[in-house]
Amino acid sequence: MTHAGQSAADALHDDATASGGPGPARFRDVVAAYVGLTKPRVIELLLLTTVPVMFFAARGVPPLGLVVATVVGGTFSAGSASVFNCVYDRDIDEQMRRTRRRALPRHIVSARAALVFGLVLGVLSVVVLYVWVNPLSALLAVAAEAFYVFGYTMVLKRRTTQNIVWGGLAGCFPALIGWTAVTGELAWTPVVLFMVVFFWTPPHTWALALRYREDYANVDVPMLPVVAPAREVGRQIVLYSWVMVATSLLLWPVAGTGPVYPVVAAVLGAVFLVEAHRMWGRTKTADDLATIQPMRLFHSSNLYLSLLFVAVALDPLLLG
């Protein structure tokens, strides 16, 4: 399970990475470096869109063993994709402020060792999901990882301003995987949640890209905030936010939820739209980061998605 917009969570993770001076790395530093390659904060976000869907699919509490297997398999899959991303992007990571403290730019882990590590995680994810969950969930995890690594990282990211829009498809798969882990089949309900994450990714990532647009510009990655004025970025964020909120409300009639989910979705959506419009308004009068405050919307987007999927999990429990 991967998330093409994972650079958003990376910013928080990389800023918190322990600093290391010159000289041989200690064992603890090496272990931390390998863990860092998997981008744990990204994994947390992806699992947050997996487990609640399992509760919703089970219309209650799913079997604990199934949840554990799905979480472990999903963690290995997301970690594997992140490792491959770090290997491929190590040249630009070394030049960007927010990524230059990763393990590969600091030469704590070699590219070859990282590749082996990523491959092992990928194989383990397939084995765990195939044996202890089901073949469909394993296939979806492989598809998500392949699209993230080959589609987003290697093709889209450095070539188009639409990189995060279509690359974000990879980060939508956890909703499908959580559902199929319980039911063994696809349905319209997880597709709606898939689309919620799809429309959530651009506002979430573009807010972060506004904050680090100089970094992206310096390495010729054409994120939208690099090639378009802040006002246009703000407008695009507002448009995607409106579609995201409308899609989130679509779950109510499609899945036949109880009253908890639509109320929470409506309130969260209204708050998010207010924040998105406020940021857009600030871009109309200024271009400096201190005025635009893009990280405020970035943090709001994390909270929005977290609480929305908590509501997805709670709805069937409260009905029961």
What per-residue confidence (pLDDT) applies to 216?
Answer: 95
Whole-number Å distance between alpha carbons of 8 and 10: 5
pLDDT score for 24: 55
| 12 pLDDT higher than 50 | no
Amino acid 290 reads A
User: pTM of the entire structure?
Assistant: 0.90
Residue 166: partners with Cβ closer than 8 Å, 6 or more residues away: 151, 152, 156
Domains and CATH numbers, the chain: 4-319 (1.10.600)
User: Is residue 130 within 8 Å of 252, Cβ to Cβ?
Assistant: no
Residue 106, sorted as left (phi over 0), alpha (psi -120 to 50) or beta, turns out to be alpha
Residue 4 pLDDT > 60: no
- CA 111 to CA 103: how far, in whole Å? 10
Confidence of residue 148 (pLDDT cuts 50, 70, 90): very high
How far is residue 298's CA from residue 229's CA, in Å, rounded to a whole number?
Answer: 18
22-27: average pLDDT? 62
Q: Over pLDDT 90: what percentage of the chain?
A: 82
313 pLDDT more than 90: yes
CA count, 13 A, side-chain hemisphere, 230: 24
Please say if the pLDDT value at position 18 is more than 50: no
Mean pLDDT of 205-214: 95
Instruction: Summarize the confidence of residues 57-70 as an average pLDDT.
Output: 97
Q: For 36-62, what is each residue's pLDDT tens digit?
A: 999 998 898 889 999 999 999 999 999
Confidence of residue 101 (pLDDT cuts 50, 70, 90): confident
pLDDT of the residue at 3 = 45
Q: Residue 13 above 50 pLDDT? A: no
User: To the nearest whole number, what is the mean pLDDT of the chain?
Assistant: 91
The larger pLDDT score, comparing residue 103 to residue 129, is at 129
DSSP codes, 99-128: TTTSTTTTTSS-HHHHHHHHHHHHHHHHHH
pLDDT digits over 179-190, tens only?
A: 999 999 999 999
Residue 319, C-beta contacts closer than 8 angstroms, at least 6 positions apart = 258, 260
For 149-177, write each residue's pLDDT tens digit.
Answer: 999 999 999 999 999 999 999 999 999 99
Residue 107: pLDDT over 70: yes
Which amino acid is located at 156 in the chain? L
Q: Is the pLDDT of residue 14 over 90?
A: no
Query: Tell me, what DSSP letter sits at residue 156?
Result: I
Return d(Cα 320, Cα 206) in angstroms, integer.
Answer: 39
Q: Nearest 5 degrees, angle CA 7-CA 12-CA 17?
A: 110
The region of weakest confidence among 15-19, 23-27, 143-147 is: 15-19
- pLDDT at res. 10: 45
Distance of CA 121 to CAs 9, 33, 136, Å?
A: 20, 15, 19
